[in-house]
A and B are shown apart, each in its own frame.
Chain A
C-alpha cells in the first residue's frame, strides 16, 4: 500500500492537469470581474486562494461591491455551497482508511465540483496521496489564473476570453456524457436534472430561485428519483 503511494500521487497529479488548465481560464475571467467590481488584485487572489470555488466567488464579489450585509454574504455562500455538503457525504464513503483527520481538515477543502467528479469516477478508494496529487494543479491554476486575470486584465481579445468561458462546461460534459452512455440510470439522472434545471431557469414563476438553490433542487430530485427507480448494486457504490 505505502510502496504504491508515490505512483498514486503522480496519477492524481496527472488527472488534475485538465482541471488546472480549465480552472486557469475560468479564474482568469474571475480576476477580470473582481478588479472591475472594485477590489484590488491581491484581494481577488486572496479570495481564490482561500475559497477555491467558482460560483461562490463570483456571487461574493458581487455582494462586496453592493455593500451587502455580512448575514447576506453568509447565507448566499451557504446556499450556493450546500451542494458541497452533498458531495462531501458522497466522497466520505469512498475515502480510504489512511484518510485520517488531518487530511480531512486540509484536503477536504479541495473538494470542488471537478475534483469531486474525477475522484468519484476513480476505481476503488480515494487515498490522501491521490487526493493531494489531484488537488495541486487545480489549486495552482485557480489562484494563478486569478492573478493573471486581475493583473493582465483586458489584454486578451474579447472573442478569445468568451471562448474560454465555455471550457469549464466542456469539462463537465466530458464527465457526464461517457458515464451516461455507459449506464442507463446515469443517463436518466442527467436528463431529469437537465429538465428540472431548464424548467426552473425558463419558467418565470420560478425566477425567485437562485442558481445555487436550483442546483440543489435538481440534484436532490433527480438523484432521489433515480435511487428509487434504479437502486445501484452493492459493489458499485461500495467498492471496498
Chain B
C-alpha cells in the first residue's frame, strides 16, 4: 500500500501538538507538592543536558573539531555570553578547527 504524505503530515502535526498543548490545558492549578515542583524546576536543565551530551561531539563532522567547539562554548558561557554569542563562538571555532585538521 502506498502511503500518503498528507496522512504522515497530519500524524506528525497531531502528535506533536497534543504532547505540547495537552499539559497546558490539563494542569491549571499550581501544583502543591514540593517534590513535584522541584522536579519540574530541574526538568529543562536535565533535558537540554541530555540532548547536548554526547550528541554534540558527533554534530560537526569530526570529534576533535566538535570538542574544540564545546570547549569554546563552555568558556564563552562562563564569561557570560548571550545565547547568540555562545552559539556563534562554538560554530566559528568548529569552522576554523575543521579547516586546520
By a beta-carbon cutoff of 8 Å, the part of chain A in contact with chain B is 17-19, 21-22, 25, 39, 43, 46-47, 50-53, 56-57, 60, 63-64, 67-68, 70, 73-74, 77-78, 81-93, 95, 101, 104-105, 108-109, 111, 113, 116-118, 120, 159-160, 162-181, 185-186, 189-194, 196-198, 201-202, 211, 214-215, 218-220, 222-224, 226-228, 230-232, 234, 236-238, 240
Which single member of A77, A82, A159, A191 contacts B11 (CB below 8 Å)? A77
* Contact status A77-B15, CB under 8 Å: yes
* Contact status B98-A60, CB under 8 Å: no
Q: Report Cα–Cα, A87/B98, bound state, in Å.
A: 35
From A185, which residue of chain B is reached at the shortest CB distance?
Answer: B42
Q: List 8 A-B contacts (CB under 8 A).
A: A73-B8, A81-B15, A88-B21, A90-B43, A109-B21, A174-B76, A197-B53, A232-B38
From B97, which residue of chain A is reached at the shortest CB distance?
Answer: A163
Q: Is the interface of A mostly helix, strand, loop or mixed?
A: helix
Mask of B40-60 contacts with A, CB within 8 angstroms, 1/0: 111111111111111110011
- With an 8 Å Cβ cutoff, the count of chain B residues facing the other chain is 75
From A179, which residue of chain B is reached at the shortest CB distance?
Answer: B45
Q: Report Cα–Cα, A211/B59, bound state, in Å.
A: 14
* Contact status A226-B73, CB under 8 Å: no
* Contact status B91-A64, CB under 8 Å: no
Q: Report Cα–Cα, A197/B80, bound state, in Å.
A: 26
Given contacts A74-B11, A88-B19, A173-B86, contact A95 B24 (CB under 8 A): yes
Specify which chain A residues have a CB less than 8 angstroms from the CB of B81 in the assembled complex: 174
Q: Which 9 A-B pairs have the closest CB atoms?
A: A88-B23, A18-B84, A170-B87, A170-B90, A218-B50, A174-B86, A227-B38, A163-B95, A177-B77
